[in-house]
Structures are given as C-alpha cells and as structure tokens.
Structure 1
Amino acid sequence: MSFNRSLLEGAKTVVKSTTKPSSLQLVPKRLPPLPTPKDLIRIYKVKARRQLSQNFLLQKSINERIVTSAGIKGDSYVLEVGPGPGNITRQILEKGPKELYVIEKDRRFLPMLEMLSDASLPGQMKIIIGDVMDYSFDGLFPKELRREWTDESPPIHIVGNLPFNVSTPLIIRWLRHMSDRTGLFSYGRVGLTLTFQYEVGQRIVAPVMSIMRSRLSVMCQHLCRCEHRFVINGSSFM
C-alpha cells in the first residue's frame, strides 16, 4: 500500500527554544550499524503490524530531515513516540540531547532500542514499553525546565512518526493538555514535530474557507501555530 505522509510542527503553543546550547554536547562515539530492512525482517522477524497501523520510515536522509526540523540540540530533552526499530531515534542521538525518552507499544522492537541505548551515553536514553495514550508524562523531565506559558519555550521536544490509528486521538489528547497546561505542557510551550497521514496533515493546516477545513483544523490552530514542513513519499515507508 502506497501513501504519503506530512511532517508538521506545532507551535504558537510551540515556539523554538532560544536558550543557549550546552557547552558540553553529549554525543556517543559510535552507534551500532543501522540494520537494513531485510536485516530487520530476517534477524528479528519484524514486519509492520496492520492492526497497530505501523509504518517504518527507514530512509536515513528523511529521518535526519525530521530531526533537523525539530531543532534538537545538545541542551534538548526529547520524547519520541513510536520509535519502532529506532531509525529516527538514531538521528536524535546523533544530535547529543541531554535526555531521550522513547515510548513504544510493540515489545518486538525492544532488542533494537536496547542496542541504541547501550551505545549511547549512560542514562541518556530511556525506554518505556507501553501505550502513549496511557501516559500523561507529567514530571517526566526535571522540574527546573518548567516555564510560564508566556515565557520562551523550554528545551523539550516531542517527535514521532505516528501510527495512523493513534495520530488523531493523540493530538486531541495533547490539545486538551495544552489547554489545561497539564502533562508535558505543564513545562510550557513544548514543541512537537510529527508525521501524519497526508490527509490528516492537510486538515490540520487547512486555512479558513478551505474544503479541507474541519473541527481538527480549528482546534489545532486555536492552540498551535501549525506548519507543514514537507511531504514524505509512500515509497520511503516499509
């Protein structure tokens, strides 16, 4: 099945952090070689599960582009949703964030994520096995990072190549947290860089009077400055 995906970055609640990068950037000396798609299937017997709406983005240049769009730096704290085999995760680690949490529902990916965690600096990468819809993440990062809503954004980033079946419910949940200043948004205007199915992305950024305009458009644009960054061709997914 071929499909396109959109990369969007939420903001107005989400302004780029202008805090100074740490003078000491935490970058692992060497990460393990990235498995090819054939290696993933052969070694771990892993295939995308349709019931979980999984899609694996294995093209390195696109993963790099997503992480660059997020603005992750050496002073960043990151939550990645649905890392799967860890291809975006690897690019995040290359930026040397202070802390990276990944939350993955599918336990089949645990060996691959542990491989990356073992290759990163001690305590830098932490793995949560569970459903992102079951977590608020309030208190996930140090309390010193909390900002007033009118202040500049904290150096916290949410990144994810979202499964189809969770993308809209998750965004609505996060919009509620933004409105209430709870969960991750108790830290302030936290930035999000996420992939969506193309049609969902178009609805999120649809302007007034557009045929794509919907309740999702209104809710997202009321709380966020929504920016469409680029389209990912269906051939880039596995």
Structure 2
Amino acid sequence: MSEFDDNKSPQKLDLSSLPKLSQILHKHNLSPKKSLGQHFLLNKSICSRIAESSGDLSETTVIEVGPGPGGLTRALLEMGAKQVIAIEKDKRCIAALNELALISNGRLIVKEGNALDFNFVQNIPYPKHIISNLPYNISTQLLVKWLDQSNEFSQMVLMFQKEVALRIVAKPNTSAYGRLSIYAQWLCKCEIVFDLKPNAFSPPPKVNSTIIRLTPYTEPLFKAPKEVLLRIIAAGFGQRRKKLRSSLKNAINDPEIILKNTGISSDRRAETLTLEEWCSLARECADTNLKIKRQ
C-alpha cells in the first residue's frame, strides 16, 4: 500500500481546541526566514477562504507546499480534505506540523524537503489538488514544473505576488502578457480568485498577493507541438519590442515563410498574437519541417 493512502475518512476535523497559530510560533520559536521567502499566513478566515475556493475536497488529495506553522493546513483539514500532503523545507516547522498530524486521524502526511525536488505524481492518487501559499522566491519555478505535468492534477489554487498572478491571466496587447501567460492558458483555465493586502501576512511583504485557480484542460486548448510552441514564444518575447520577422529568427531559420503561411503579418510583435495564433505558428513550423534552432 502507498504511504499516500486513499482510503481515509473524508469527515471534517474539529480543530477548535488547538492552540492559536501565534502560540505555535512562540512554542516552536518560529520566525519567518527571508532566505526561504517566508510570509506566514495566520488569519483563519483567509485560510478558510482559500480552502473553500477549491470546492468539495472530500474525495481529493491535497498537496500543500510551504505550509509553515500550518494555518492553511488546518483549514484544508477542517474543510474535509481526504488527505493533505504538506511539503516543508524548514526543519523548524516540521515539529509543529507533526503535532497537527498526530490528531489528523492519518489524514495529514508531513514531508520534509525541497518542493522543487519532490515527485508530485508518483503514488499520489487522483484527483489531486495543489493548494498552497507559495514561497515567492520559487513560485514561478514551481508553477512551470506543475504545468509540465498539468494532466496529473485536477486543480491548482495558488498564491503569488500580484504581479506574477497578473502575468498568468494576462491577455494580448498588455505589458503583462508573455511566455507564462501563453503556457498557463494553453493548458489551464486560469482565474483570479481574490487579492490579499500585505498586512494579511507576518511579516508583511512589500507587495500585494493574489490567489489564482488553475483548472487543467483534458487536452491543451489548441493543438500545438509543445517543444516548438515553447521555443517560438521564448524567441518572440525574448525581444518583445522587435517585429516577429526579427525576433523569431532566434528560433527558426526563415520566420517569413511561417508567418506568411499562417496569415500573420511579419510586422506584428509578440505581445499582439493571441494564444490561438501562437499555436497556429507552432503547428506550421512542425508541418513544414522547418528547422527549429536549439538554445
């Protein structure tokens, strides 16, 4: 049997008798580390709102990255998550999380380690959500990793710096629109859930934060070869102020041919193309066997 047992009771836990999170911080001498990008979310109502934004969790395994002292973890258990797998790098937080695990009826599994190295697929039953207040310093890296495996997840509810969140949901002809926008929206329905002010955290970050819900599509929104798509959007947005006939030369030998065949003007710039147009370019590159340059 996998350690991630999928036969746990989905009943909600009553954690009202637990010490307040502020007491947990004092007991375990927990102070947020800047080096780990830590900003603890201690507000119970906000944690509950994040957990509730993912809907019914009674049949779902939830993966939480960077739980810290366990504020969101508590909310997920109270919401009736079938199982929560909490991945924490900070050794200081492990003891506090293990105390929560002891009263969770086996529904909380605490894993110590770096989320960038964690296997989010193996032996974790579907449906599985990722619901996390992400460490800001690795949030984009983690998202790209999960997008690479998006078909393995039923949903992702994630907190980012607002600037990053706006990039994820950005539309063409905006300054925020770019590689991350295209890749995320190609694979997932991307929605902003709500924003958070800095004073919601301890310590307050210097920026606002945003909760985003990403629901993976069964298939990418438009047909396109992934490697080619990623390569051409990297080239296009790598020199976003240049016209496509120039910027795409970093990816393909003769972009004029591809652009002409897809009916896209070579005078346009990367930020003006829709997701569908980028996918059309990627398909045309593959269909014409035009050589794709390697980075």
Structure 1-normalised TM-score? 0.76
Which amino acid letter does the alignment assign opposite residue 71 of structure 1?
G
Match of 2:137 in 1: 165
Question: Which amino acid in the other structure matches residue 194 of structure 1?
Answer: L
Q: 1:100 to 1:42 in 2, by over 3 A?
A: closer
Note if 1:141 corresponds to 2:124. yes
Indicate the SS of the match to 1:231: strand
Once residues 58 and 30 of structure 1 are traced to their aligned partners in structure 2, the CA distance between those partners, rounded to angstroms, is: 15
For residues 1-238 of structure 1, the aligned pairs below 5 Å read: 25-30=10-15, 32-37=17-22, 39-121=23-105, 123-142=106-125, 145=126, 154=127, 156-178=128-150, 181=151, 185=152, 189-238=153-202
2:166 partner letter: Q
Residue 116 of structure 1 aligns with an amino acid whose one-letter code is L
Give the structure, 1 or 2, with the largest relative contact order (CA under 8 Å, sep 6 or more).
1
Tell me the secondary structure at the aligned position of residue 144 of structure 2.
helix
1:119–1:136 distance in 2 versus 1, CA, 3 Å:
same
The normalised TM-score by structure 2 is 0.62
Which letter does structure 1 place at the counterpart of 2:45? S
Q: Give the letter aligned to residue 135 of structure 2.
A: P
* Code of the aligned partner of 2:12: V
**Aligned position for 1:14:** none
Structure 1 residue 96, shift from structure 2 partner: 1.9
- Cα distance, 1:82–1:36 mapped onto 2, change above 3 Å: closer
The whole-number CA distance in structure 1 between the counterparts of 2:193 and 2:121 is: 28
Distance 1:32 1:110, change over 3 A: farther
What is the CA–CA distance in structure 1 between the aligned matches of 2:24 and 2:108, rounded to whole Å? 21
**Unaligned stretches of 5+ in structure 2?**
1-6, 203-295
Q: Which residue of 2 aligns with 1:150?
A: none
Amino acid at match of 1:169: Q
Taking the aligned partners of 1:201 and 1:34, their CA distance within structure 2 comes to 33
CA shift for structure 1 position 26: 2.1
Deviation per CA, 1:122-170: give whole Å up to 9, x if none. x21111000011012222323xx4xxxxxxxx3x211000011110111
Q: Distance in 2 between matches of 1:75 and 1:164?
A: 29
Letter in 2 for 1:27: K
RMSD: 1.8
Shift of 1:29: 4.4
- Tell me, in whole angstroms, the C-alpha distance in 2 between the residues paired with 1:137 and 1:25: 21
How far has the Cα of 1:28 moved from its partner? 3.0
Give the direction of change, closer, same or farther, for the CA distance of 1:173–1:91 in structure 2 (3 Å limit): same
Residues 188-233 of structure 1: CA deviation (Å, up to 9, x unaligned):
x520000001100111111111121121111111111110010011
Segments of 5+ residues of structure 1 without an aligned counterpart are: 1-21, 146-153
Which residue does the alignment assign to 1:18? none
1:40-86 CA distances to partner (integer Å, 9 max, x unpaired)?
44322211111111111111111011000112422221111111000
Larger Rg: 2
Distance apart, 1:31 and its partner CA? 5.2
Alpha carbons 2:25, 2:69 under 8 Å: kept: no
